[in-house]
Every structure is written in C-alpha cells, then in structure tokens.
Structure 1
Amino acid sequence: MYRRIKPALFRLDAEDAHHLTLQGLGMASRVPAWPAAVRALTAPADARLGQTLWGQAFASPVGLAAGLDKNAQAVPAFTALGFGFVEVGTVTPQPQPGNDRPRLFRLPSDEALINRMGFNNAGTEAMRTRLAALRERHAPVWVNIGKNKATPNEEAVEDYRRCVAALYGVADAFVVNVSSPNTPGLRALQAAGDLAALVRAVLGEVERARVRTVRLAPPVLVKLAPDLHPADFEASVGAVVDAGAAGLIVNNTTLSRDGLTHAHRGEAGGLSGRPLTARSLELVRAAYRLTRGRVPVVGVGGIFTAEDAYARIRAGANLVEVYTALIYEGPGLPGQLNRGLARLLERDGVRSVADVVGVEA
C-alpha cells in the first residue's frame, strides 16, 4: 500500500508530508485498542532478537531514531509497527519554532534527506503530558534532549537539567544531543572537557530526581556526530564513558556531501540516509573498540536492510535505529528488518542477537 501512496506523498513538500503522516499516526494512536491489536501482529516473534539492557527488555534491536516524532505525538502507532524501542525529540525546555522553511529536503537518487529543522518542538511540558497519558508501553521510550537556540553554550547545562527534571518518570532513557548541526554552537559541546561536565551535570540531575521520586533511574546516553576528527572522536568517547554515561549513539547527521548526485545536495543542514552507511559502520566499530564493549552502543545512519542492521550489530552495536529508510521504505520496514535479522541469526546458528555484538570489531 505504501508503494502506491508514496508517489503522492513525495509530490508534497517534504515537511508537509511529514506533518500529514504524523497527524495520521497520532490519530491512529488514539483509537482504543488499535495499537495493541496491531502490535500483536507485528511484534518481533523470534525470541533470539530479544535483549535486556539497563534492566529494560527490548523485543527487537531495531528502534526509531529521534527527529521523526519530535513531540511524542504517535508513540503508540510507532510501537505498533514493530519497533523494539522509540526515541522521541529532540525536546528543549521551552517551545521553539526552529529554523525558517523550507528546511527538509528529499534526495531520492541518493536515498537521503537533508534537514535544517533546528530543534522545532513544543517543549518539555507538552511532551510530559503526552508521555504521562500513555496507558501502556509496548516498548521503551527514550527522550532526546537539547538546549534552546537562544541559550548560550555557557548556560546550556541548565537547559539539559531542566529537560531531565521535567521528564523524569516518563522517559525510559535520556539521550544527550550535542551533535545536531542545526543549532548554532551546539557541536562545540562535544569537546571532551565540556562534554564530560555536561554528562556529569545530567547524571547529577537524574540522581536528584531518583532520590526525590524513588523511581528507578533511566540510563543516560550521548549522541555524537560523524564529522569529528578521529582524535576528537576518541577523546569524546572517552569523556562520555569516564563521566558515567550508560551508552553511546553513533551517529547524528553529517555535513559531508561526498558522492551526492541530487540537485538538493547544496542545501544547508544535516545529511542522513544511505550516504552514511559506510561511515556509520566504521564509527560503530571504532566506538566498540574504544569502549571495549563496556557500555552499549546504538548504531544509526544509513540502515535500510536487515544486512545493514546485522553488519552494524556485528561491528559493535547492541541496538540500531532507523529514520530516513522509513521515509523511503514505508511502515513495513521494522517488520522487514526483524524478519531479516531472524533469518540471518538462523543462518549463522546464533541463539541470541547479543551473542554477535562486536564479533567483527
């Protein structure tokens, strides 16, 4: 069905199509019993795909990356598609409109997207209301947090703290986003010293909230950019782990335009999709080697097929995320990836996906 409607969607402005799709999924999310009924059909059926990380159960290693559902509008619908976890956001303490439109571009010949959205979102209060209203969760829900555009870098720590304080209790994990290229100065926070201080501050806020609410503390992960110099990447990974973060997400969008063919290749913003496949695989392998597997790694960037996901896992990723591929392949993608991964595990005689994490690193 998606193949039939995709040409009509792709004739729309990319952001208009995005909002239209989210509105539809949001409406579906509110239909009583619909998400649970669909999830019963789409949930990963092969137990070998399951893992427990940070005390949380993941029925599949395939998750939805941040940026698609910025305001947690359609979490039940996304979990109904068969995702093992869903990452919402990026959310900032205060609502903000983001950058001027147009700010999202398809590059079909490259199977890619370029976005310069700029953390457009409705703020933490709106997100807390939506997540608190979820009657049941069929998969963990992570919240990607960032700073408001107007907040100077020297005060950024307070924005991340405010996000944690507002959303503690409704987030199954926090993802510290310091790697978007679309908020001026944000990537400067990836410098090892600044990053370590930020992670410690976020962890301190998590601990204060844990003591106050007597709830199990959610893990804190950090999302890095693919454009760091190898020495800087190594320093940032070391800083994140030494500061006590529970995991890494590798990686965000890139500013590189190498090998692109589409006319939109000159648009400013972060590039995602197929052009990142090789680079992201390389960085997952590097992160696994640098951490020696001490913390879980989440691989994201250019994952379109089960083979892509399997390669990322064997390179060192415990979990993987998709976004751009969902735009090009449609809502059946999570199920396709889950079934394909199960076949690959069967082919290799593997009893659990956890058994192949990092075997080629």
Structure 2
Amino acid sequence: MIYKKLLKPLLFKTDAEKAHDWALSIASKTNNSPLLQTLAASLYNETRTELEQELFGLTFPNPIGLAAGFDKNGTTPRAMQALGFGFVEVGSITAQPSDGNPRPRAFRLPKDHSLINRMGLNNEGADAITKRLSSLNLDIPLGVNIAKTNDASIHGDAALQDYLYSYEKAQPVADYITINISCPNTGEGKTFEDPEALRDLLATLEPGKEGQKPSLVKFTVDIERESLENLVGICEDFGVAGYVATNTSSVRDQLATGEDVLNRIGNGGLSGRAIQQRSTQVVQWLAEITQNEKPIIGVGGIDSPRAAIEKIEAGASLIQIYTGLVYEGPGLVKRIKRQL
C-alpha cells in the first residue's frame, strides 16, 4: 500500500533506469545492514512452511524467486531474502565487464503493465561479481545467470570460451546456474538458440558432468513448439537439470501502448503482463515435452497471485518476478505466498 500510494507515483515521474538505480541502491544498503534486513523482514517476510520443496538437490523455502535482470552485480541477495523471496537469481554476468548499450535503454509501458529494455548485459564482469558472491551466507538458494559478453567481435570458439569462463567462475558460488541462451539485447542480435550453436555450447560447458552445479537453460518467449522440442532434445542429451521460461520478447503484438510511443522507444526486450500468456504457453509446452520430469522456473508477467498460480498450473515448479515488482512493489511476494 505504501509503495503503490507514495513511492510508485514518485518513481514513475523519473526515467525507468534512474528509478531502478534508486531501488537497487536502497536494496544494496539493506543487503549490508542487518538492522535494515530485520526491518524489511518485519514488513514483508512471512514464513509459509507448507510451500517448501526440494528440487535438483536444493531446498526452496517457497517457490517465488527474484528474476535475473534486477540485480546484475549481486549486491542485493540478503535484502531479497529479507523481503521473503524463496530464491534469488543474479546476473546476467559475463566474462568481461560491460557498460551495456547507450542510454536511454529502459522504458515503462504503463497501459500494458510492462517494460521494454535494451540494457545490453551491463555488468561488472564475472571476476568482480563472483568475488562479491563468495562472501554471502544465504538461507535460500542462489542462482547465477550467465551470458556471452556483449561484444560482436567475440564469436565462434571465442564465444564458447567466453561462456565457459563465466560458467567456471560461477561454480563455487552458485547453488544453480542458468545458461542464458536467449538475450535479445546484444550488439550482434544473435542468440544461442540455433540448434547447432546450442549443441556446441553445451558440449563446451558439460552441464551433466559429475561435480557441476545444477544447470538450467533459459529460452525466449518468441519460440514455436517444434523449435522448443528440438532444443530441449539437445539439452536432455547433455544432462541439463531444468529450464527457465521465459526471457523477454521482441514482438509488439496486441499492445495498448500506441505505435507512436513504441516507435520512439525502438528495439528491446518486452517484459511484464504483455508476455504473460505467451510465457505460460511455453511453460506448458516444456512440461509436456519433458513429461513433468524436469523442474521448470516460470517467469514472465507474474504481477498477481492469479498470474503466479497460472504459471504453476501450467507446469512451473518455481516462479520468478521482476517487472511485477515495478508495478506492484515488494508486497507482491507476500500476497502470492498467501494465495499459494
């Protein structure tokens, strides 16, 4: 209530990325202050032991996670634990640091309860971020999302080695690793969702090798079932532990936001309520393709308890939120837990 009546109107008067930076600053301060963590927990955290579950060898106190993208540099996991999240995913991290794409690169679509971003994988790099994460002592699972450095000159075998560097750096600090093959906001605009590219990548990372942390693959929302079946078949060949569905969308169909506004914004990944139904469809396809034998993290448009339940009914074992926080505030986590 405080967020929607007082903070949100103020935040929505400023640039979307500036508002995100402000929220990240507050969360980072909370991350480093036991007092602020206690205060946050007293306001937002509510233990629901009946929501606890074990997946790929990890205990999740509840199924609601923070999606990758909010905390690219791993500065807020303790704060997110205090807010009641059942797990946190940081990143995407890349082998080399990157400033990302030029600003402005984040935009709100209030009529659609959605965002468009073309951040461009801005992060401090795998070395700095994994060093920071090495000092964490969380009571909830920590995921690390990895992607290729946003540099078009890194391609071919160099791109595979770039991924491998981040993958190996994440092993000691992550409870699970998400292999992000579907980010649409890189300079070259390419992804690893090409079957041959995905096979080469997984052959390099060897996610099923003994001793590796559970590894999940994250797919785009802009995928057809036949392509998804093909890619899942490749992932299964390499012992992938589960899947994340979905990343953002490059499609602009059926938006309430006007064409003139969309044209001014330009390209980027669409997230939020506008992709809710499509992401739920991909979750359902994954559940059917895998015959419900692999954990699925459902993400995309979860901004209410009803939307969360729809993802779970479609086959998601866990869910993640990010854009929903922008529109609903941190109280969304507690509301979803109560309804579940």
SS in structure 2 of the partner of residue 125 of structure 1: helix
**1:242 matched to 2:244:** no
C-alpha contact (below 8 Å) 2:184/2:191 kept by paired residues: no
Gaps of 5+ in 2: none
Who is 1:265 aligned against?
A: 262
For these two proteins, the number of residue pairs brought into alignment is: 332
Q: Which residue of 2 aligns with 1:116?
A: 118
Deviation at 1:291, TM superposition (A): 0.7
Cα pair 1:72 1:131 within 8 Å, conserved: yes
Asked if 1:316 corresponds to 2:282, the answer is no
Deviation for aligned residue 1:202: 1.7
Match for residue 22 of structure 1? 24
CA distance in 2, matches of 1:229, 1:285: 12
Distance in structure 1 (CA, Å) of the matches to 2:159 and 2:184? 16
Shift of 1:247: 0.5
Q: What SS is found at the alignment partner of 2:179?
A: strand
The correspondence for 1:177, drawn from 169, 177, 180, is 180
Post-superposition Cα deviations, 1:125-148, rounded to whole Å, max 9, x if no partner, equal 1111221122x2021110000111
1:52-71 counterparts in 2 under 5 A? Answer: 52-71=54-73
CA drift of 1:32 comes to 2.9
Structure 1: state its 5+ residue gaps.
211-216, 342-361
Residues 207, 242 of structure 1: alpha-carbon distance in 2 compared, 3 angstrom cutoff: closer
SS at match of 1:96: coil
The one-letter amino acid paired with 1:148 is T
SS of match in other structure, 2:325: helix
RMSD: 1.8
Cα distance in 1 between the residues matched to 2:205 and 2:38 = 34
1:76 alignment counterpart: 78
- Is 1:167 the counterpart of 2:170 in the alignment? yes
Structure 1 pair 153–40 and aligned structure 2 pair: CA distance change class (3 A): farther
Counterpart residue number, 1:251: 246
Q: Residue 200 of structure 1 contacts residue 244 of structure 1 at CA under 8 Å; is this kept in 2? A: no
- Give the corresponding residue for 1:195: 198
In the TM superposition, what whole-angstrom CA distance separates every residue of 1:281-329 from its partner, at most 9, and x where no partner exists? Answer: 1111111000111211111101111111111111111001111000000
Deviation at 1:74, TM superposition (A): 1.0
* 1:39-75 deviation line (CA, Å, top 9, x unaligned): 4774453222111011111011111110000001111
Alpha-carbon separation, structure 1, partners of 2:236 and 2:298: 17
Which segments of structure 1 move beyond 3 Å, counting only runs of 4 or more?
36-44, 184-188
Paired with 1:184 and 1:199, the residues of 2 have a C-alpha distance of 22
The aligned amino acid for 1:226 is: V
- Call closer, same or farther: CA 1:79–1:187 in 2, change over 3 Å: farther
Q: Secondary structure of 2:271's match?
A: strand
Letter in 2 for 1:329: E
User: Counterpart amino acid of 1:162?
Assistant: Y
- Per-residue deviation, residues 319-360 of structure 1 (Å, max 9, x unmatched): 01111000000011111111111xxxxxxxxxxxxxxxxxxx
Structure in which a larger fraction of residues adopt helix = 1
TM-score, with normalisation over the residues of structure 2? 0.93
SS in 1 for 2:92: strand
Contact 1:238–1:291 (CA under 8 A) maintained in structure 2: no
